[in-house]
Amino acid sequence: MSPAHPLIFALGAAAGLVLSAGPAFAQAAAQLPIIVTASRLDAASIAITTLTPADLATSDSLADALARLPEVYVQQPGGRSGFGALFLRGADPNFTTVLLDGIPLNNATSSRGGAVNLSELGTAGIARVEIAAGPLSSVLGSGSLAGAVNLVVAGGTDVPRLTATAGAGTRGDLGGVLGWRGPISTGAGAAITAEYADDGEASPGAAFEMVTLTAKVASRDPARPDRLLLRFNDVVSRQFPDNSGGPAFATRRSTERRTAREWLAGGTLRLVEADALSLDASASWLDRRDTSNSPGVAGSALDPFGVPAGEDVSRYRRALGQLVLGVGGPAARLVLGTEIGHERGSSDGSLDFGFPVPTSFRAARTSYAAFAEAARSRGPFSVGAAARLDAIDGFAPRLTGRLGAQLQPAESDLALSVGAGTSFKAPSFYALGNPFVGNPALRAESGRSAEAGLVWSPSNRQRLALSVFHNRYTDLIDFVADPAPRLVNRARVLTTGAVASLAQPLGRTADLSLSVQYADTRDAAGGTPLLNRPAWRFGGAFSWRPHATLALSARYDVTDTRFDASVPTGVQALDAYGLLALSAEWQPHIGTRIILTLDNALDADFADAIGFPGPARRGRIRITRTF
């Protein structure tokens, strides 16, 4: 046991001391929130955006839904068959933790450093999506340098209901959902969802099919965290290899075939509940298997070697366990907890250099953590703090923290907030162990962030929000080709930006929303520009309900120029583009809903990666019947 472990367990054991914390905590701890995204408490200064089922209704994937948000840029080359990479406030995709009901989905064996492919995540059976921007290692541990995205799965209902959805589009895409929700006992409910998606031919050579099964049993009391979640996801896709230049420039016309199969199980049980405290135990298991068979990328004048053809089978498994003690009331709240995790990964593959060269590796590590969160309110002021100590095999213990404050005067519609925090990410198994580019001496990546914001909300439909932020990431893991190709710690990246949004009612039946983000992301050392970082993102949406059974909406989103790279072309700037989406929702009678959607209505010519044309104009119909 390392010297840090006794300290961690001592910190966790200190939870017992809150039993004598006095009357400030002698209130109902059972009211603490049960889903972890940005905090286990209603912490101040954490920017959270929530997508509701209404926001998700016209989206066929999480990537599609998140791409409409100003703080997010989603790169999805050639449609859903391309890797859906999330850039949150200009940060790398592997700096964002993606969770399902609070269970992390990030995969340390991935060559993308653990980034989650948003294209693989559908929206069926999701009650809401929470996007938290800012450093969250003090809550979630390693990896949450930029923030987190949490998909909250819908639970049971008081009345049983069966829902069936069928959809089709003009590019040969198909989809279907079958779901049941209802009570299974006096205090518990269940939800079961099956989803199928076929993306058709979004771009030449592209194909994507997905099957997802999700089941959840949970307490129908929203104040209780008790739940059991099971999920199976299976994906098969084809696309030109990354950096190949896609259908436009790739010399080798064969596509890469990828498969992904994922099993997930998790649960939470409230062990103790009293007026002054609650004690919850959680456990989860993730098992993922990926395969790829790639034709490689032919060399060019700019890169004579290209990328060799190859194949790979990777496996990743992770078990997590957690104990959380909560004490609190309206004025003061405290959470103390411990966590233990074990992850194991393997990769079995080879590259073709005229003869097969193995690329296999195996790795495993155990991590221990202790954490604390506190929140205090007095009059118009509220403050929140979080701290977490992580000890991961092979690395020195890391302490991260976050502090925030909010001011909202009584009878005022205006709220002001400030916050700052630190974060870190341990290197992935791929970065440490890949025989060609891995480096076992890599250090953990680190981040420091600060932000300030204001929100003016005089009514439920009217809201103005503005925030400014500054992020500093150090020891970023980067690839160097000289003197030998490998991954090293060297980069220091700075991001400074601002986000503004406005929601404004236009009478009783219409609403207008506008949003903008500016993010200046740069390598402090200069040199080659960072890829896939648009400085500006604009969005506008108009919705109108001319009749109780009919809703119409239009949305226009603009993405600024950004740089990308491919073997045939080198680094190039991709043009800015705007996309118009139109939708109509009609309820001809109770229990039936018909949604018509026109994506890329102006048939804009755009690309998310060099040589990968974005999907052309597409019409879709989706019919839902609830019994």
- Single-letter amino acid code for the residue at 388: R
**Residue 361, in any domain of the structure:** yes
pLDDT in tens, 62-85: 999 999 898 999 999 999 999 999
**Residue 519, in any domain of the structure:** yes
State mean pLDDT over 185-199.
96
* 238 secondary structure, DSSP code: E
In this predicted structure, what is the pLDDT of residue 28? Answer: 36
Count of structural domains, the chain: 1
Of the chain, the end-to-end C-alpha distance in Å amounts to: 57
The domain in which residue 403 lies consists of 27-626
Q: What is the pTM of this model?
A: 0.92
In this predicted structure, what is the pLDDT of residue 307? Answer: 93
- Phi and psi of 138, rounded to 5°? -70, -15
In this predicted structure, what is the pLDDT of residue 469? Answer: 96
Q: What is the C-alpha to C-alpha distance for residues 362 and 433, in angstroms, rounded to an integer?
A: 7
State mean pLDDT over 303-330.
94
Q: Is the predicted pLDDT of residue 46 greater than 80, yes or no?
A: no
**Residue 70, in any domain of the structure:** yes
The partner residues of 482 in beta bridges, in order of sequence, read none
**Residue 12, in any domain of the structure:** no
Rg (CA), the chain: 24
Q: Which residue has the higher pLDDT, 43 or 392?
A: 392
Strand 96-100 to 147-153 pairing: parallel
* Lowest mean pLDDT segment, chosen from 46-60, 200-214, 289-303: 46-60
Helices (H), 387-435: 429-433
CATH code of the domain in which 442 resides: 2.40.170.20
State mean pLDDT over 595-614.
96
The partner residues of 201 in beta bridges, in order of sequence, read none
Residue 164 to residues 81, 180, 192, 490, 585, Cα–Cα distance (Å): 25, 9, 12, 52, 16
Do the beta carbons of residue 118 and residue 106 sit within 8 Å? no
**Residue 2, in any domain of the structure:** no
Q: Quick one: tokens of 101?
A: 């009901």
In this predicted structure, what is the pLDDT of residue 103? Answer: 96
Which parts of 154-294 are beta strand (E)? 161-169, 174-183, 188-198, 207-219, 227-239, 256-273, 278-294
Q: Which residue has the higher pLDDT, 626 or 27?
A: 626
The distance from CA 172 to its chain's CA centroid, rounded to whole angstroms, is 28
pLDDT band per the 50, 70, 90 thresholds, residue 484: confident
pLDDT in tens, 361-388: 999 999 999 999 999 988 899 999 999 9
Which parts of 70-206 are beta strand (E)? 72-75, 85-88, 96-100, 103-104, 126-133, 147-153, 161-169, 174-183, 188-198
Do the beta carbons of residue 131 and residue 65 sit within 8 Å? no
Q: Quick one: tokens of 63?
A: 């990537």
Q: What is the C-alpha to C-alpha distance for residues 32 and 42, in angstroms, rounded to an integer?
A: 8
**Residue 15, in any domain of the structure:** no
pLDDT in tens, 537-584: 999 999 999 999 999 999 999 999 999 999 999 999 999 999 999 999
pLDDT band per the 50, 70, 90 thresholds, residue 14: very low
Q: Quick one: tokens of 74?
A: 């989603």
**Residue 19, in any domain of the structure:** no
Q: Which residue has the higher pLDDT, 216 or 20?
A: 216
**Residue 37, in any domain of the structure:** yes
SS3 226: coil
Q: What is the C-alpha to C-alpha distance for residues 284 and 298, in angstroms, rounded to an integer?
A: 42
Do the beta carbons of residue 618 and residue 171 sit within 8 Å? yes
Q: What is the C-alpha to C-alpha distance for residues 141 and 209, in angstroms, rounded to an integer?
A: 33
